[in-house]
């Protein structure tokens, strides 16, 4: 992680980052959110990439910076908070599902 933060212009690290982003596990959260939108559980226009970024950022901060435990309770609170925000968004890009 430290290498990615401080040596962002390194071609080898850029390639590793690109490959990690293409892996199935990296796309998993997007797929889950796409399915929720298709089922009408989340509004059309839900900012999927943003939600995934917030989750990843919170997890990285908790694990690497604060060294606090990442338990089921924390994960549930994080996801519930984000989904509640997505469901009540007033952004003009987000509109109710069919």
Kindly report, residue by residue over 50-62, the tens digit of the pLDDT.
888 888 889 888 8
Are 13 and 7 in contact, with CB atoms under 8 Å apart?
A: yes
pLDDT digits (tens, 9 = 90+) for 3-13: 556 666 777 77
pLDDT-wise least confident of 23-27, 59-63, 72-76:
23-27
Separation CA 16–CA 51 (nearest Å): 23
Residue 43: strand, helix, or coil? coil
Q: What is the CA radius of gyration of the chain?
A: 16
Separation CA 35–CA 59 (nearest Å): 23
Separation CA 83–CA 47 (nearest Å): 11
Whether the model clears a pTM of 0.85, i.e. scores above it, the answer is no
């Amino acid at each position: 992680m430290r290498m990615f933060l401080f040596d962002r212009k390194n071609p080898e690290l850029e390639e590793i980052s690109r490959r990690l982003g293409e892996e199935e596990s990296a796309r998993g959260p997007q797929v889950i959110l796409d399915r929720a939108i298709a089922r009408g559980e989340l509004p059309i226009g839900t900012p999927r990439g943003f939600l995934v970024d917030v989750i990843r950022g919170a997890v990285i901060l908790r694990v690497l910076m604060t060294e606090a435990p990442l338990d089921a309770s924390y994960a549930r609170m994080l996801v519930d908070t984000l989904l509640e925000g997505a469901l009540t968004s007033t952004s003009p890009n987000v509109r109710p599902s069919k």
